[in-house]
């Protein structure tokens, strides 16, 4: 089973997502920033099957992160999340499509379903 890279700058939300995914049986790597995620990706890209990232983060947002990782691993699978309206989703470039989106707040079951769908694409 491929690992999910969870990127979220809010510690409590990231820890909750990681717990949900681990309870669902997924191996997980976590990063608190885009820069940390890029480092993990470079070290473990062959293990990672899905990028699960918040769209709105300080320094490097989720779109910029996904764009950078897509350049390293074309065709990667991405699940974006945000607590804001879906407005930022409209700004995601064609190079990152198709992608999946999960609005916050989400439940354990909603996250597992979104991950399952994203991995199946």
Q: Name the residue ranges covered by the structural domains of the chain.
A: 3-120
The pLDDT tens digits for 26-43 are: 999 999 999 999 999 999
Question: Region 39-61: what's the mean pLDDT?
Answer: 94
pTM reported for the whole predicted model: 0.93
Superfamily of domain 3-120: Response regulator (3.40.50.2300)
Token pair listed for 13: 């939300």
Whole-number pLDDT of residue 29: 98
Whole-number pLDDT of residue 80: 95
Whole-number pLDDT of residue 84: 74
How far is residue 80 from each of residues 17, 55, 119, measured CA to CA in Å?
Answer: 13, 6, 13
Q: Which residues are CB-contacts of 4 (< 8 A; sequence separation ≥ 6)? A: 21, 26, 27, 28, 29, 48, 49, 50, 52, 115
Question: Region 9-19: what's the mean pLDDT?
Answer: 97
Whole-number pLDDT of residue 87: 54
Q: What are phi and psi of 47, to 5 degrees?
A: -90, -20
26 vs 99, residue with greater confidence: 26
Whole-number pLDDT of residue 20: 98
The pLDDT tens digits for 63-93 are: 999 999 999 999 899 999 998 765 566 678 8
């Amino acid at each position: 089973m491929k690992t999910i890279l969870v990127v979220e700058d809010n510690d409590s939300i990231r820890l909750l997502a990681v717990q949900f995914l681990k309870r669902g049986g997924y191996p997980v790597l976590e990063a608190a920033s885009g820069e940390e995620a890029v480092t993990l990706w470079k070290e473990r890209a062959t293990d990672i099957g899905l990028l699960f990232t918040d769209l709105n983060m300080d320094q490097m947002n989720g779109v910029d992160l996904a764009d950078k990782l897509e350049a390293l691993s074309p065709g990667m699978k991405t699940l974006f999340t945000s607590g804001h309206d879906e407005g930022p989703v409209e700004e995601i470039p064609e190079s990152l499509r198709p992608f999946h989106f999960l609005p916050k707040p989400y439940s354990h079951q909603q996250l597992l379903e979104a991950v399952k769908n994203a991995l199946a694409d």
